[in-house]
């Protein structure tokens, strides 16, 4: 056996073959993106306008940042439904801190802290409490929203510190700052997932938790880390959201963000049960959602029908993944 | 033997996948009421052959005859209608349903109002079980039954469908010895009632006891077929692997080093009690017993997978509290678990990444992983462990069982473990690769590693271990020197028919 099989060794042919299939699995979402992009350009002359393009990026930046965290959570085999509510809570608390301290840095820090802490609690519930992530984060979703409403008395809170709005309303070269933050976060999460042991452990855990544990990985800590990470990213998103209009609504801000973020991750090709998926896929998933929203506005599709189109795209995306 | 036409004949079957021929002009004939062994290493084409018979794949060439008449097995339904049942290695029973619900899954009986006719289903289940000579309450949940009973349900299901040919794919892998015997009795009973069985297994001893005739495949070709009586196991093994497999012991008398692991009074409620043993560098210690003897649980505890235990574990003379696999790793313990697919490999990670998983620190520079270092390290293990893989960047599930196991071994070597625990190391690995795994285990001990081998096959521990512990119901009931141990003696202690507690100390 040992001798006969050794002859078959032929690295070249097998690696080009696997590279081809890798290209396909890697780029199917990009191909979809290109098709949608071209179709949009044909359907609406205004689509290709530079300002419109930059506008799309600006509009997806908040969901994009959250979706990066969601990718990590879903790769670990979990889900986080609490992102929208936590965003509202982090926003409300940080604006209060901002106004009380007069310091923008304190405001940002508090937003990150609230987001991370909520994520940490989610992680604790999932890892140590052995509660299914869907349930744990569903609870957090309700609780965080409720606390935000209580603190803001059901209304909105506005910043009273000049310069705070500059975060979301200034630009570097041609890009708005939120877009740049989105890109930086994408790159950071990419490096985290592919170049550090944390990322490797997340993939391992999502693919086979028991084997990961039996490989001496501290599975519980990784899980807590995963939820804390998405919490921190939600904190960043909360700062951008708040800064954009200098106010945050305890009742409506962040509402249904979890659905858009999950949709982007799924369109990007990440497997619902974890272990397989790519950050780049999510990036293009986010962009596809952004273009769809933009196109529906440009072509005057009734806003009531936009959810329908989005739902359709998600389902089509999943059907395509099953085929592969 | 051949009188008239056989019950089932697959003639001159050719099949290729993506241009790669998997079966080349293979013929298989099974008489009515015989147990026919289908033999061959993994990848020899057995499963493809059975999938063709089951209607899952269509052959490129060749034809299938049932009782002399040609049948096109275009889909699984036709195959079922012809009375062919396939009992897979992984049992297809639903643990959360009751016995009778499993029996009638997909073909439930209904009364005239369209509701389920529970009473009749229970009665029929009971009747079939009775013919099999077992007494199970049809309304009990399957999750509460032993594995052997789950197998039984599959067989009963096949009988219920009036199957005339049952294919069993390695049915004994998860069974204990007495359960195996029960299965064999059952098979003989089926045979008498005219049912034919195609029996796929690696275990020649079993085949010798239960099968009437055999067909050997190798690399998709028919190597030999005939009556079991005329052949001795060595000849058949030679047909399977293309060379003889020795029955000798692999382990040598190498000098032992210092005591590295000492276990005293280790107990865990309901699983094992008062376990004492010690292990030296260079020593291979075997643990064997029947299913439910607690050995797997014992070593899962030692590896920190189970947290509740009493007693003391000393590594290199120092007491250690192991409550997480990480701590076991720190103490220098590595664990190659059984059921590789569920417990040991991460199927979405590449071969290289599976190798490096427990020792990521070795491949980091300034906190970032260095792909190149991982690749180089893998090449090192590929060489010393003879891992056969074209492209180590493919996911590990593309490898054969033996090679997967070697990658798992490489993982623990890379993690610098001194004590290596193997639980059923050759599970689902074909004969040729088994030998290699044995050789690896022995080579590890010669490198000075302390090794523990758990196996339900007494032969296996005799082959590779310096000394052998036999467990029965959570206790060590006997110790043997590997040189003088024999299977029969071991079985006496493993089944609890003999106890020798005073010998231990």
* Confidence class for position A59, pLDDT limits 50, 70, 90: very high
- Beta-carbon count within 10 A of B74 CB: 10
Considering only CB atoms, A195 lies closest to which of B41, B356, B368, namely B368
Q: What is the mean pLDDT of residues B403-423?
A: 94
> What is the pLDDT, as a whole number, of residue B4?
62
Residue B233 has pLDDT above 80, yes or no: no
Shortest Cα distance, chain B CAs vs residue A8, angstroms: 8
Alpha-carbon distance B408 to nearest alpha carbon in chain A (angstroms): 9
Instruction: Return the number of other C-beta atoms located less than 10 Å from residue B178's C-beta.
Output: 14
Q: Do A203 and B348 touch (CB under 8 A)?
A: yes
Q: How confident is the model at residue A7 (pLDDT cuts 50, 70, 90)?
A: very low
pLDDT for residue B434: 84
Tokens at B175, concatenated? 């069974």
- The answer on pLDDT for A53 being more than 50 is yes
Q: Does residue B257 or residue A19 have the better pLDDT?
A: B257
Question: What residue in B sits closest to A16 (Cα-Cα)?
Answer: B391
H or E, element range at B488: helix B487-494
pLDDT at residue A172 in the model: 84
Contact: B344, A5; criterion CB under 8 Å = no
CB-CB under 8 Å, B347 with A208: yes
Does residue B68 surpass a pLDDT of 60?
Answer: yes
Residues of A in contact with B357 (CB under 8 A): 200, 204, 212, 215, 217
CA dihedral A44, A49, A54, A58 (to 10 degrees): -30
- Using pLDDT thresholds of 50, 70 and 90, give the confidence band for residue B302: very high
- Residue B221: which pLDDT band, with cuts at 50, 70 and 90? confident
Q: Is the minimum CB–CB distance between B351 and chain A shorter than 8 Å?
A: no
Percentage of residues in chain B with pLDDT exceeding 90? 40
**Distance (Å) from the C-alpha of residue B31 to the closest C-alpha of chain A?**
33
Which residue of A214, A220, A278 is the best one to mutate when testing the B interface, meaning the one whose CB has the most B CBs within 10 A? Answer: A214
Would you put residue B55 in left (φ > 0), alpha (ψ -120 to 50) or beta? left
Which of the pair, B37 or B159, is modelled with greater confidence?
Answer: B37
Please give the residue of chain A at the shortest CA–CA distance from B430.
A1
More confident residue, B28 or B503: B28
DSSP state of B496: T
B337 three-state secondary structure: coil
Minimum-distance CB partner of A214 among B41, B325, B348: B325
Would you state the pLDDT for residue B42? 65
> Is residue A20 predicted with pLDDT exceeding 70?
no
> A215 by DSSP, 3-state: which?
coil
pLDDT > 80? residue B395: yes
Distance from CA of A194 to the nearest CA of B (A): 8
Structure tokens at B448: 């000075």
What average pLDDT is seen over chain B? 86
Closest CA in chain B for residue A220:
B324
Confidence of residue B134 (pLDDT cuts 50, 70, 90): confident
User: What confidence score (pLDDT) does residue A324 get?
Assistant: 46
**What is the model's pLDDT at position A9?**
39
Nearest Cα of chain A lies from the Cα of B300 at a distance, in angstroms, of 9
Task: Tell me what the pLDDT averaged over chain A comes to.
Answer: 90
Query: Between residues 420 and 439 of chain B, which touch chain A (CB distance below 8 Å)?
Result: 432-433, 436
- CA-to-CA distance for B444 and B353, rounded, in angstroms? 22
Alpha carbon of A296 to those of A54, A63, A282, A303, B399: distances in Å?
17, 18, 21, 8, 48
Q: Given this model, what pLDDT does residue A15 score? A: 57
Q: Which of A191, A218, A275 comes nearest B326 by C-beta?
A: A218
* pLDDT band, residue A21 (cuts 50/70/90): low
- Residue A179: predicted pLDDT: 96
Q: Which one of A20, A216, A219 makes the best mutation probe of the B interface by having the most chain B beta carbons within 10 Å?
A: A216
3-class secondary structure per residue, B8-66: EEEEEEEEEECCEEEEEEEEEEECCCCEEEEECCCCCCHHHHHHHHCCCCCCCEEEEEE
ipTM confidence: 0.86
In our burial notation (b when 16+ CB lie closer than 10 A, e otherwise), range A6-19 reads eeeeeeeebeeebe
- Report helix, strand or coil for B447: coil
**Stretch B12-21: mean pLDDT, rounded?**
82
The Cα-based distances of A15 to A6, A10, B351, B391, B406 in angstroms read 17, 9, 14, 6, 22
Residue B305 confidence (pLDDT): 93
Q: Between B329, B349, B393, which is nearest A216 by CB?
A: B329
Query: pLDDT tens digit string along B315-370?
Result: 999 999 999 999 999 999 999 998 898 899 999 999 999 999 999 999 999 989 99
Hey, of A8, A18, A187, A215, which one would you mutate to test binding to chain B, going by the most B CBs within 10 A of its CB?
A: A215
Q: Which residues pair with B452 in a beta bridge?
A: B285, B421
Give the Cα separation of B475 and B113 in Å (integer): 55
Q: Using one digit for the tens of pLDDT, what is the confidence trace for A96-114?
A: 999 999 999 999 999 999 9
In chain A, what residues touch B365 (CB-CB under 8 Å)? none
pLDDT at B390 > cutoff 90: no
pLDDT of residue B472: 86
Q: With bands split at pLDDT 50, 70 and 90, how would you rate the model's confidence at B433?
A: confident
Q: Could you tell me if B388 lies within 8 Å of chain A, comparing CB atoms?
A: yes
Give Cβ neighbours of residue A250 (< 8 Å, ≥ 6 apart): A88, A92, A145, A148, A149, A151, A152, A153, A154, A155, A156, A157
Whether chain A has a CB inside 8 Å of the CB on B326: the answer is: yes
The chain A residue lying nearest B242, using CA atoms, is A1
- Listed range (A28-32, B271-275, B299-303) with the worst mean pLDDT: A28-32
Q: How far is A320 from chain B (nearest CA, A)?
A: 20
Which among B348, B353, B388 has CB closest to A276?
A: B348
Q: What is the rounded (10 degree) CA torsion for B58, B61, B64, B68? A: 160
Phi, psi of B18 (to 5 degrees): 50, 40
The CA distance from B504 to the nearest CA of chain A, in Å, is: 31
Chain A residues interacting with chain B (CB cutoff of 8 angstroms): 1-2, 5-6, 8-11, 14-15, 18, 191, 195-197, 200-201, 203-204, 206-208, 210-218, 275-276
What is the largest distance, in Å, between two alpha-carbon atoms of chain A? 77
| A171 band by pLDDT with thresholds 50, 70 and 90 | confident
The answer to whether A152 touches A31, Cβ cutoff 8 Å, is: no
What pTM, to 2 d.p., does this model score? Answer: 0.79
B337 to chain A, any CB pair closer than 8 A? The answer is: yes
Distance of CA A241 to the CA centre of its chain: 15
Residues of chain B contacting A219 with CB distance shorter than 8 Å: none
**Yes or no, beta carbons of A18 and B357 under 8 Å apart:** no
User: How many whole angstroms separate alpha carbon B419 and alpha carbon A36?
Assistant: 57
Lowest mean pLDDT among A115-129, A239-253, B192-206, B392-406: B192-206
Checking if the pLDDT of B62 tops 70, the result is yes
pLDDT at B245 > cutoff 70: no
pLDDT digits (tens, 9 = 90+) for A266-324: 999 898 899 999 999 999 999 999 999 999 999 888 888 888 888 888 888 777 765 54
Most trustworthy range by pLDDT among B78-92, B126-140, B311-325: B311-325
Q: Residue B189: name the closest of B147, B152, B226 by CA.
A: B152
């Amino acid at each position: 056996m040992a001798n006969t099989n050794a002859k078959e060794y032929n690295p070249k042919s097998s690696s080009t073959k696997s590279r081809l299939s890798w290209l396909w699995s890697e780029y199917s979402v990009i191909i979809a993106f290109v098709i949608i992009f071209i179709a949009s350009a044909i359907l609406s002359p205004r689509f290709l306008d530079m300002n419109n393009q930059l506008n799309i990026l600006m509009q997806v930046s908040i969901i994009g940042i959250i979706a990066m965290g969601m990718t990590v959570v879903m790769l670990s085999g979990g889900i986080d439904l609490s992102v929208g509510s936590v965003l509202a809570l982090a926003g409300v608390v940080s604006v209060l801190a901002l106004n009380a301290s007069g310091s923008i840095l304190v405001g940002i820090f508090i937003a990150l802290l609230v987001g991370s802490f909520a994520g940490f609690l989610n992680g604790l519930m999932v890892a140590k409490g052995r509660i299914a992530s869907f349930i744990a984060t569903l609870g957090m979703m309700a609780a965080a929203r409720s606390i935000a409403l209580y603190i803001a008395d059901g209304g909105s809170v506005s910043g009273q510190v000049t310069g705070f709005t500059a975060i979301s309303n200034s630009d570097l070269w041609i890009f708005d700052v939120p877009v740049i933050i989105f890109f930086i976060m994408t790159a950071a999460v990419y490096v985290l997932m592919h170049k550090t042991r944390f990322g490797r452990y997340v993939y391992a855990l999502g693919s086979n938790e028991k084997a990961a544990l039996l490989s001496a990985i501290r599975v519980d800590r990784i899980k807590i880390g995963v939820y804390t990470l998405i919490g921190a990213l939600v904190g960043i998103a909360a700062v951008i959201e708040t800064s954009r209009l200098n106010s945050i609504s305890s009742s409506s801000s962040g509402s249904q963000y979890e659905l858009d973020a999950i949709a982007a991750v799924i369109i990007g090709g990440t497997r619902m049960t974890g272990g397989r998926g790519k950050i780049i896929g999510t990036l293009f998933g986010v962009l596809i959602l952004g273009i769809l929203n933009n196109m529906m506005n440009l072509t005057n599709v009734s806003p009531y029908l936009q959810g329908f189109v989005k739902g359709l795209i998600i389902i089509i995306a999943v059907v395509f993944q099953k085929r592969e | 033997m051949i009188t008239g036409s056989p019950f089932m004949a697959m003639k001159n079957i050719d099949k290729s996948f993506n241009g790669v021929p998997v079966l080349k002009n293979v013929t298989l004939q099974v008489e009515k009421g015989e147990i026919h062994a289908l033999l061959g290493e993994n990848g020899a084409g057995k499963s493809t052959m059975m999938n063709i018979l089951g209607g899952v794949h269509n052959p490129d060439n060749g034809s299938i005859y049932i009782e002399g008449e040609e049948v096109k097995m275009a889909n699984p339904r036709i195959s079922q209608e012809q009375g062919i049942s396939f009992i897979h290695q992984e049992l297809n029973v639903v643990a959360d349903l009751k016995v009778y619900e499993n029996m009638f899954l997909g073909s439930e009986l209904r009364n005239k109002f369209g509701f389920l006719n529970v009473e009749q289903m229970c009665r029929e289940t009971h009747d079939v079980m009775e013919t099999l000579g077992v007494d199970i309450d049809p309304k009990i949940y399957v999750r509460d039954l032993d594995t052997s009973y789950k197998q039984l349900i599959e067989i009963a299901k096949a009988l219920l469908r009036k199957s005339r040919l049952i294919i069993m794919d390695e049915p004994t892998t998860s069974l204990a010895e007495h359960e195996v015997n029960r299965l064999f009795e059952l098979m003989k009973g089926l045979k008498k009632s005219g049912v034919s069985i195609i029996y796929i297994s690696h275990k020649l001893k079993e085949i010798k006891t239960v099968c009437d005739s055999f067909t050997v495949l190798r690399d998709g070709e028919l190597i030999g077929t005939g009556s079991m009586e005329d052949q001795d196991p060595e000849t058949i093994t030679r047909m399977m692997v293309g060379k003889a497999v020795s029955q000798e012991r692999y382990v040598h008398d190498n000098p032992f080093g210092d005591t590295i692991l000492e276990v005293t009074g280790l107990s865990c409620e309901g699983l094992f009690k008062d376990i004492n043993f010690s292990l030296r560098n260079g020593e291979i210690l075997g643990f064997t017993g029947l299913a439910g003897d607690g050995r797997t649980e014992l070593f899962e505890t030692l590896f920190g997978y189970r947290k509740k235990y009493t007693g003391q574990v000393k590594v290199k003379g120092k007491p250690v509290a192991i409550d997480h696999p990480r701590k076991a790793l720190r103490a220098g313990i590595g664990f190659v678990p059984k059921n590789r697919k569920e417990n040991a490999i991460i199927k979405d990670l590449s071969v290289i990444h599976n190798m490096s998983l427990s020792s990521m620190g070795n491949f980091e520079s300034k906190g970032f992983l260095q792909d190149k270092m991982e690749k180089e390290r893998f090449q090192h293990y590929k060489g010393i462990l003879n891992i056969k893989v074209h492209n180590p960047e493919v996911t590990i599930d593309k490898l054969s069982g033996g090679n997967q196991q070697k990658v798992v071994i490489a993982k623990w070597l890379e993690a610098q473990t001194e004590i290596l625990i193997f639980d059923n190391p050759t599970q689902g690995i074909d004969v040729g690769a088994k030998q290699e795994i044995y050789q690896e285990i022995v080579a590890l001990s010669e490198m000075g590693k302390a090794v523990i081998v758990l196996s339900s096959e007494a032969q296996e521990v005799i082959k590779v271990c310096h000394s052998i512990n036999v467990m029965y119901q959570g206790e060590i009931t006997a110790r043997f020197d590997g040189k003088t141990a024999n299977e029969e003696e071991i079985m006496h202690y493993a089944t609890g028919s003999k106890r020798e507690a005073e010998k231990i100390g």
